[in-house]
């Protein structure tokens, strides 16, 4: 595993990599010490640059950055006949903060919210055909192991209020203001 950290407007972003995919991101207080870059590869350099560009106020699309969700076993690859009898399931050994299969689906949906835009918890729940999933959307955002890249800061309350944010409301407010050019 590799780790890199750097200062930005919200604190220190600490990023863990495994198999050239992001394993976990943590936002630490500015008083924390910086980790050194270890075992970096050419694959990771453009990813780090995108994240640094984002914090410089540039509009960046993170959807193609490979993420390593732990706790969710991906569906098996079908054999040559196209048949598969297994379904993705939760597995042990969660590293970057495990998520359930439903939370992963919700986070993948949140990941598609464009830069500078917001959606309410209820709007995302409605995309699943069930407005009653709004609390599940909030719980998925709380479990999000990839803040910034899976932009849960763009998920707000129905009336326009900030709602919650696992990294703190002050950080959520700063990120939304930065994306709106304020």
Residues recognised as catalytic = 152
3-class secondary-structure state, position 52 = helix
SS3 116: coil
Instruction: Count Cβ atoms below 10 Å from residue 55 Cβ, excluding itself.
Output: 17
Q: How long is the chain?
A: 182
- Residue identified by tokens 């994306």 is 179
Kindly list the strands in the beta sheet with 21-28, ordered across the sheet, starting from the edge strand earlier in the chain.
2-8, 11-18, 21-28
> 25, 14 in Cβ contact below 8 A?
yes
Contact status, residue 109 vs residue 125, Cβ threshold 8 Å: no
């Amino acid at each position: 595993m590799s780790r890199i950290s750097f200062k930005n407007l919200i604190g220190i972003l600490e990023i863990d990599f495994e198999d050239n995919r992001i394993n976990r991101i943590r936002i630490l207080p500015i008083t924390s010490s910086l980790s050194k870059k270890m075992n970096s590869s050419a694959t990771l350099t453009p990813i780090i640059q995108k994240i640094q560009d984002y914090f410089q106020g540039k509009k960046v699309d993170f959807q193609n950055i490979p993420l390593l969700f732990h706790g969710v076993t991906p569906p098996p690859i079908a054999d040559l006949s196209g048949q598969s009898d297994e379904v993705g399931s939760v597995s042990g050994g969660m590293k970057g903060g495990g998520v359930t299969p439903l939370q992963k689906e919700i986070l993948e949906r949140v990941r598609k919210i464009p830069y500078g835009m917001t959606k309410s918890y209820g709007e995302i729940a409605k995309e699943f055909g069930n407005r009653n999933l709004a609390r599940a959307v909030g719980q998925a955002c709380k479990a999000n192991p990839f803040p910034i890249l899976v932009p849960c800061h763009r998920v707000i309350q129905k009336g326009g209020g900030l709602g919650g944010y696992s990294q703190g409301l002050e950080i959520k407010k700063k990120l939304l203001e930065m994306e709106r050019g304020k």
